Each structure stands twice: as C-alpha cells, then as structure tokens.
Structure 1
Amino acid sequence: MRAIEATATIDESGQLTLDRSLDVTKPQRVRVIVLLSEDDDPDPDETPTETMIEGIHQGLREALAGQTIPLSKLWEGIDAE
C-alpha cells in the first residue's frame, strides 16, 4: 500500500473534490483519511499567505538596497559535526 497526499475541498453537501488529479492509471477502491483543522486551531505548518508575501517583499527590498550577506558568511560560526 502507498500513500498519496493531496488537498481537497468539502462542499456544502459533504462531497470531497480534489484540487488536482492523482497519478493513478487504473480504477480502484481506496481508503481516505480526512484531516480537518479546528476553527481555533490553525495548521502550525501553514504560514498565512499575507505573511509569506510580506517576507518576499522584504527580501526583495533588502536585495535591491544591497543589504545582502555573502553565502560563505552564512556558515561562519556553525559547528557541523
């Protein structure tokens, strides 16, 4: 058995619609596990879109202003074992 992770939407009538088609070539029965987030418990692995966009804009502003760090400097002080 193999697992495929995909996102989907549940409509008002409880029907599940996948956001993309699966790479499965033959018809077959499958088992489905649905993970629902609680209204007051957002997914800790999902960064809000607005936060991501602001981070990209900030990085672009810094790069255009020349506020960059050479890649070789990023590893200074890191002790790899």
Structure 2
Amino acid sequence: MKAIETTGIVNPQGQISLDEPLMVESGRRVRIVVLIADESETDPDDDPIETVREGIRQGWHEAMTGQTYPISQLWDGIDGD
C-alpha cells in the first residue's frame, strides 16, 4: 500500500476538496484517513502549500545560480558542546 499526504477543505456538503490533484490512475479505489486539527491546535510545521512552493523555488534558483556553500562550511561556527 502506498501513502500520499495532502491537504484539502471540507465543503458544506461534507465532501473533501483537495488542494492539489492526486497523481494516481483514474478510477482507482483509495482508502482515506482524515485528520482534523482542533480549532486551538496549530502545527508549526504545517506551512501553507504556496509558502512551501516558494521555498523550493528559491532553493532551486540559488542552486542553479551557484549561490551555494560547500557542505564543509555548513558546520563552521556551530558549537558542538
């Protein structure tokens, strides 16, 4: 079994509308688990999809334009104590 995590919104009829289409074979049966956050519950790792996309675009742009650092420099200045 393959797992796909995505987000969506429940409409007034109780149907789920996904934020992005699933890239699976049409007509295929799926099993769905719905996780609903409490009103007061916020997940600091649950960034909006557009925020995530923009971060990926920026990282890709930096990589393609040579705005990178050697991995050996990533640990410079980090105190291991």
Aligned residues, how many?
59
Stretches of structure 1 lacking an aligned partner (at least 5 in a row): 53-69
Match of 2:5 in 1: 5
How large is the Cα RMSD of the aligned pairs?
2.8
> What TM-score do the two structures reach when normalised by structure 1?
0.56
Q: State the 4+ residue runs in structure 1 displaced beyond 3 angstroms.
A: 70-74
Alignment TM-score, normalising by the size of structure 2 = 0.56
SS of 1:45's equivalent in the other structure is coil
Shift of 1:17: 0.7
CA offset digits 1:30-65 (Å, max 9, x no partner):
1101111101111232358xxx8xxxxxxxxxxxxx
Deviation of 1:77 (Å)? 4.2
Separation in structure 1 between the aligned mates of residue 20 and residue 37 of structure 2, nearest angstrom: 20
Name the residue aligned to 1:31. 31
Specify the alignment match of 1:57 in structure 2: none
Q: Give the deviation of 1:76 after TM superposition.
A: 2.6
Letter in 1 for 2:8: A
What is the aligned partner in structure 2 of residue 18 from structure 1?
18
Larger radius of gyration: 1
Give CA deviations for 1:8-47 in whole Å, capped at 9, x if unaligned: 1101111101111111124211110111110111123235
Instruction: Specify whether residues 73 and 11 from structure 1 end up closer, same or farther in structure 2 by C-alpha distance, changes over 3 A only.
Output: closer
* Identity among equivalent pairs (%): 34
